[in-house]
Amino acid sequence: MHHNKQPAIGMLHDTHQHPNTFTGALRAEEEQMDLPPSVLKKIAEKQRKINETRDRLFSVIAHDLRGPVGNVHNGLMYLSTNSLPDENKRIELIRELTDSSGQVLELLENLLNWSKLHKDFIRIQPQELDVSEEIDKCISLLSYSVKQKSIDVRIRNEKRLKAFADKASFELVIRNIMSNAIKYTPEKGQVSVSTTEMNDRVVISIRDSGPGMKKEYADLILHADPLDSTQLSDRDIGSGIGLYLCQEFLKMNAGDLWVRTKPGSGSMFHLSFPMKKMEEFS
């Protein structure tokens, strides 16, 4: 396992073609002039919700980026005005800066994928995947965080199982759940990953040794709209967006997600994917 990599967040397939903005706006305005009032009212309501979502996105970005961006700025300012003769202190500061920049990258990529998802810019391309290879790749990408917290990652595979899913979204789901498991596991804790076959589906179980959650809170973060301030507090937004993406991309891949957790006993997230082509992909 390599220990010198930060999480590299994969880009999902983007089918967006940028039209001529001015011409497109004129055409849209002309088309709306002939629409009945009831339709115009629905369009106005949809636009209002889009504006609310945009404002909430700005709030998310401001809240979740302020901490890590501030850390990077302060660290670089310190390095530019101070010498660090102690090699250990220098390495520690560089690690903190790397971790903070990784948090920024992960959040931005999740927000970008969320935006693409809501604009129907995502194209799913299911294929046969080697589950063990994909898990190993994910753990390798997260190895820096694992090493930094001295976490013991244990992998138990029943056998070489195959999943039939879109590669990019499969990797996004595994990476998000693994990243959360590492995030909430204390130093020198343990994260375990196991795979098994169940009713023509492959089930991937990711367990952490973190604080766990109450059932009602677990239900909330799994099913809440991550940009609805009435459902999630600012503190929960980051995790909420990641889990929301996991749920949506699992649905697009005929997959499923559920969690077993309780305070003081850690959390175990279960992901299931079909092992062969499903009707949903036809």
Per-residue model confidence (pLDDT) at position 59: 64
User: Could you read off the pLDDT of 230-264 as tens digits, one per residue?
Assistant: 554 544 545 567 787 788 889 889 999 999 998 99
Q: Where in the sequence is the domain holding 109, given as residue range(s)?
A: 26-118
DSSP-assigned beta bridge partners for residue 198: 201
Q: Is residue 105 part of a domain?
A: yes
Please indicate, yes or no, whether residues 173 and 110 belong to a single structural domain of this protein. no
The b-or-e profile of 150-183 (16+ CB within 10 A means b, else e) is: ebebeeeeeeebbbbbbbbbbbbbbbbbbbbbbe
Per-residue model confidence (pLDDT) at position 127: 93
Is 246 in contact with 173 (CB distance < 8 Å)?
yes
Please indicate, yes or no, whether residues 80 and 154 belong to a single structural domain of this protein. no
Q: Does position 195 have pLDDT exceeding 50, yes or no?
A: yes
Q: Is residue 145 part of a domain?
A: yes
Range scoring the smallest mean pLDDT among 8-22, 67-81, 150-164, 196-210: 8-22
Please indicate, yes or no, whether residues 235 and 107 belong to a single structural domain of this protein. no
Q: pLDDT tier at 4 (50, 70, 90 boundaries)?
A: very low
| Total length of the chain | 282
Q: What is the mean pLDDT of the chain?
A: 77
Q: Is residue 3 part of a domain?
A: no
Is 104 in contact with 69 (CB distance < 8 Å)?
yes
Give the list of residues 6+ apart from residue 220 with CB closer than 8 angstroms, or none: 231, 232
Q: For residue 145, how far is the Cα from the chain centroid?
A: 16
Q: Does position 208 have pLDDT exceeding 90, yes or no?
A: yes
What is the CATH classification number for the domain harbouring 46? 1.10.287.130
Task: Write down the pTM of the prediction.
Answer: 0.65
